[in-house]
Structure 1
Amino acid sequence: MTDVRIKIIAAAVKCFLVNESDTLEKVAQEAGVSRRTLHRYFKDRQDLLESCKNEMLDRCNKAMTEAYESENDPIKKVKNMLFAAIEQGANYSFIKRLYERSSFSEVESRKEFGSNNVKSKWLTIMKNLQKERRINDELTIPWIFNLFGSIIETSIYAVESGDVARNDSKTFAWTSFKGAIGLKE
């Protein structure tokens, strides 16, 4: 990716995080380029938003992979992955509002859902914890997956609204998630 393209995407993220309806003119101004230059790299607003979404997915995947690899204990892995997703989600929350979160069946059927994919690793941890009876076996894995995503979203929105401090949101998210799935540490 060229430096100008990266700069435009960063400017778009900054603008849209504050105001989802900011104009491309505002994004170009924030990036320090002309609108014409912006259109050399992005054909329209949707193209730019799609690039922001891809950037978010790449960064979130990287952060969650690092969180996964940072620990050997599966519970600490899940906790760190939750925190990584909250951090990345907070940086790109406008994307969540513009694109609906995928359902479990859509995620599971995608090609990207391979053995190296962070979601696959997360799901494997959950299945293993369930087999070990460390989490409630009455809950299905799709339910737990959607619950995980909902807790991330709740954490992000609680911070954005000013109801909860950013550091507290992670503690509350972890307490909520482990309680909801009956996690035995």
Structure 2
Amino acid sequence: MQDTRQKIIDAAISVFNDDPSAALERVADKVPVTRRTLHRYFNDRNDLLTACSHDIRKRCSEAMDQVFQQPLELIVQLEQALYAAIDCGAKYAFFHKLHGSEGHRHQHNNNDCATYDAMHERLLQFIVQLQDAGIVTKHVTAAWICDFFTGVVNTAVKALASGTVAEQSQKQFAWFSFSNGIRG
């Protein structure tokens, strides 16, 4: 049962990342399960979105925490953070979409919002550290570089999903684009 629940969550993240207003039938079809089965696990769309957000929060924050706890050169750590975000794939992209969407009411006491804020702040401060060390350009703001980071992750996820890049080249292309765009 837990496996079916996780499959539904993964399918929902993928579907809603492409189309936030997609019908629940598209999620059910992607698993594949019936709409009735989907509703055995989730009462409604909001219940499913909440489960998606919890899953994303857990998986992406664990992946990023693991990278930032490694004793690596700063630039290698940034590269590994990009790879971790790409490995989270649609989850990372969807997490940003959820928290940046027009209808989202950001609440600092909400665990998902707090995790999003902590991940974003950690990346932002890390980029400032890279700028101070002269590794990353100061010609743009750290906030812009964070947005660029997210854009590169989104592009890598979409390119793989659409078949315009082979999986073995996805990270290489992403790092090449990102690292050349932020050099000092």
**Alignment match, 1:26:** 28
Pairwise CA distance, 1:7: 3.8
C-alpha contact (below 8 Å) 1:136/1:181 kept by paired residues: yes
* Structure 2: stretches of 5+ with no match in the other structure: none
Q: Which moved more, 1:63-72 or 1:126-135?
A: 63-72
- Tell me which structure has the larger Cα radius of gyration: 1
1:77 aligns with 2:77: yes
**Alignment match, 2:10:** 13
Determine the C-alpha separation between the residues in 1 that align with 2:131 and 2:146: 13
Cα shift readout 1:95-117 (whole Å, capped 9, x = no counterpart): 469x45639xx9xx9462699x3
Query: 1:102 is matched by which residue type in structure 2?
Result: G
Q: Kindly tell me the number of residue pairs found equivalent between the two proteins.
A: 171
Cα shift readout 1:1-40 (whole Å, capped 9, x = no counterpart): xxx466424333236636954529937x857x993x7546
**Superposition pairs for residues 1-185 of structure 1, below 5 Å?**
4=1, 7-14=4-11, 17=14, 21-23=23-25, 26=28, 30=32, 35=36, 39=39, 41-90=41-90, 92=91, 95=94, 99=97, 102=100, 110=108, 112=114, 117-182=118-183
Query: 2:50 is matched by which residue type in structure 1?
Result: E
C-alpha contact (below 8 Å) 1:9/1:48 kept by paired residues: no
C-alpha contact (below 8 Å) 1:89/1:152 kept by paired residues: yes
- Structure 1 pair 40–156 and aligned structure 2 pair: CA distance change class (3 A): closer
Determine the C-alpha separation between the residues in 2 that align with 1:51 and 1:168: 31
Pairwise CA distance, 1:73: 1.4
Query: 1:146 is matched by which residue type in structure 2?
Result: D
* Structure 1: stretches of 5+ with no match in the other structure: none
C-alpha contact (below 8 Å) 1:60/1:88 kept by paired residues: yes
Identity %: 27
- Across the aligned residues of Structure 1 and Structure 2, the Cα RMSD in angstroms comes to 3.6
SS in 1 for 2:78: helix
Cα shift readout 1:128-174 (whole Å, capped 9, x = no counterpart): 11112221111101100100000000011111110101221101111
Determine the C-alpha separation between the residues in 2 that align with 1:164 and 1:182: 24
C-alpha contact (below 8 Å) 1:129/1:135 kept by paired residues: yes
Q: Which moved more, 1:50-59 or 1:150-159?
A: 50-59
Cα shift readout 1:66-90 (whole Å, capped 9, x = no counterpart): 1222333111111111001011124
Determine the C-alpha separation between the residues in 1 that align with 2:28 and 2:58: 25
SS in 2 for 1:8: helix
C-alpha contact (below 8 Å) 1:17/1:94 kept by paired residues: no
C-alpha contact (below 8 Å) 1:16/1:94 kept by paired residues: no
What's the TM-score once normalised by structure 1's chain length?
0.73
